[in-house]
A and B are shown apart, each in its own frame.
Chain A
Amino acid sequence: DSGVTQTPKHLITATGQRVTLRCSPRSGDLSVYWYQQSLDQGLQFLIQYYNGEERAKGNILERFSAQQFPDLHSELNLSSLELGDSALYFCASSVGPSSDVSTDTQYFGPGTRLTVL
């Protein structure tokens, strides 16, 4: 158990709908990262938040957005869902970023499996 929690575990919804995925980082971690993992794309970085502020953006679609709240939990909002959005969505957390590279280690939550029908 990494200490990172994600809810829900599974989510089945229809095209065009909107869903919210939730993540709580490990105690003491200030950074939260969101990843999408699909069979044909591998593990793709979406976005990072650090202490409530957006820190880095990866291959995140405009239909997707995220935020990190004062208690450091984060939510990933996916809207106008398409069939191709079906994937595993992972949240990870780390202490950093900082000049100390040991803070690069990210610990992953169990993931949310999203199925869009």
Chain B
Amino acid sequence: EDKVVQSPLSLVVHEGDTVTLNCSYEVTNFRSLLWYKQEKKAPTFLFMLTSSGIEKKSGRLSSILDKKELFSILNITATQTGDSAVYLCGRSARQLTFGSGTQLTVLP
């Protein structure tokens, strides 16, 4: 079975901290790597990555893909309490396979 592994499973930080979330995946039939944010409801789309080394950025969030080492990272700078959520990484091949997610808690 294709695997997507996210780490850490859980992270607690204070507002203003910078966090890095990790996602490693298996390469079979790789098309793209997607990041989603889930706040007690539906996952909302953050980024799609297809090429190595090209950073995608949206405000305080950024993400990059390394297709050689088969991983992606999601960075959040100057974290806010509203960033508290589960962050899901999904690898798109024949289907979208998700990791178990990283639970981020940002304390005031």
Which A residues form the contact surface with B (CB < 8 A)? Answer: 2, 4, 33, 42-45, 48, 56, 58, 90, 101-102, 104-111
Contacts and interface: CB of A to CB of B under 8 A. Distances in A.
B42 A56 contact: no
Size category of the binding interface on chain B: 20 to 34
A104 B92 CA distance: 7
Interface stretch (B10-18, B52-60, B76-84, B98-106): B98-106
Given A45-B96, A45-B97, A58-B95, A104 B34 contact: yes
Given A33-B95, A43-B98, A104-B32, 4 more contacts: A2-B44, A45-B98, A56-B94, A111-B41
Nearest to B48: A105
B69 to A, nearest CB: 20
A102 to B, nearest CB: 7
A101 B65 CA distance: 15
